[in-house]
Amino acid sequence: MKKVFVSGCYDILHAGHLQFFEEARAVGDYLIVSFASADVLWHHKRRKPSIPDDHKKALLQGLRMIDEVIITQGHNEGLDFEDDFLRIRPDFLIVTEDDKYGPIKRALCAQVGAEYTILPKTPPRFEAVSTSSIVRWVQAPTEAPLRVDFAGGWLDVPRFSRPGEFIVNCAISPLVSLREWPYEQRAGLGGSGAWALINGKNGFDSEIELGVGWQDPAVIGETGLCVWRSGTKPELDFKQNGDFLTGRMAILWTGSQHDTPSCADLPRDYDRIAQSGRIAREGVFTKDIHQIAAGVNLYHQTQLDEGMQALPEIAGSIAHKYCGGGYGGYGLYLFEDAALRDAAVSSVAQLRPVEPFCRV
């Protein structure tokens, strides 16, 4: 009888583990699965298992392709199963192609004449997941805000960042969820960042891969009225809950979507953009909507100089600009007070109110 030995944490079992166990079992006649005890997991990774060891062992033992399950206690990194391996003396030690402890495992196999076998990757029968991605999915919120950006946009794109300058933005409600999305798509409100967050994914990485900036996932995850330091990664300068903006913001659908990545490398006035960020930052600090409006209007002038069409003037508005990269999507409008905002919303088609959102 050929005994096959595999080891791992198997902290949250998923279909990928089952496929691996089946393929490992096919190498021999008897499959032994070992996993690190809670004590070992804490010793090496400073985290606790998702379920108690005896529950994990019972789950593994219930799988038809597994013949024996061992909870390991060793504290040698990468070889927590060493004592059990030397006792059992299996014929094969099966590992995956990304095993990072190859040399010491090969040496262990040599002591008992076992064959160190790298199991080649095969096409997954299910969409590939990992333990960490499952944890992110479980921990992901069911709802998320979108965002409006006031000033300093594009300075969150790593290649355009400027030390000492700022990006000013605000998370907004109504919130979105996997089942309800009460906004237009590709509209300049950071929808891709919100979608990543509620799907348990890393929104920062996905935005950077698109060649754009990090401000969307940053403020959607942080929430509130935020001032960020320009740089290659999010660094919060300060934030407020944004209550003084309640009843004073609205967004206008322009009738066309926009594509931020396609706009990223167009020529624009970054000096003026940086100035708009400084002005709006002061307005957030002093809770002065007129100061924020000055930053918004300066930024919009930059958008017009870039070639965007002028947004329509709306009675009662003190500032407006395109959200995000512009060239379509939503336009942001600021109002002196709630009465003027609500009057505009009731009289202008495609204009809808939004409110600041801050999660406690």
CATH code of 220's domain: 3.30.230.120
Q: What is the pLDDT of residue 132?
A: 73
| Domain end residue (candidates: 119, 135, 151) | 135
Q: What is the pLDDT of residue 105?
A: 97
**What's the CATH number where 95 sits?**
3.40.50.620
Would you write out the chain's pLDDT as a tens digit for each of its 360 residues?
A: 999 999 998 988 888 899 999 999 999 999 999 999 999 988 887 778 888 999 999 999 999 999 999 999 999 989 999 999 999 999 999 999 989 999 999 999 999 999 999 998 888 777 766 777 777 777 778 899 999 999 999 999 999 999 999 999 999 999 999 899 999 999 999 998 898 888 887 666 666 666 678 999 999 999 999 999 999 999 999 999 999 999 999 999 999 998 888 888 899 999 999 999 999 999 999 999 999 999 999 999 999 999 999 999 999 999 999 999 889 999 999 999 999 999 999 999 999 999 999 997
Whether residues 113 and 152 share a domain: the answer is no
Looking at 112, 135, 158, the residue that finishes a domain is 135
Verify that 42 and 81 share a domain, yes or no. yes
Q: Per DSSP, what are the bridge partners of residue 295?
A: none
Supply the range of the domain harboring residue 295. Answer: 140-356
Give the whole-angstrom CA distance, residue 328 versus residue 163.
29
Are 217 and 311 in a shared domain? yes
Q: Is the C-alpha dihedral spanning 229, 278, 314, 248 positive or negative?
A: positive
SS (H, E, C) 186-240: CCCCCHHHHHHHHCCCCHHHHHHHCCCCCHHHHHHHHCCEEEEECCCCCCEEEEE
Place of tokens 């998923």: 14
Which of these three, 72, 106, 135, is where a domain ends? 135
223 and 346 both lie in a single domain: yes
Give how many domains the chain has, as a whole number. 2
Q: Does residue 200 sit in the same domain as residue 97?
A: no
130 and 189 inside one domain: no
The reply to whether 296 and 186 lie within a common domain is yes
Q: Could you tell me if 178 and 302 lie in one domain?
A: yes
What is the pLDDT at residue 208? Answer: 61
Query: How high is the pLDDT of residue 196?
Result: 87
Give the SS3 label for residue 17: helix
- C-beta neighbour count of 354 within 10 angstroms: 23
Same domain for 283 and 252 = yes
Q: Are 161 and 201 in the same domain? A: yes
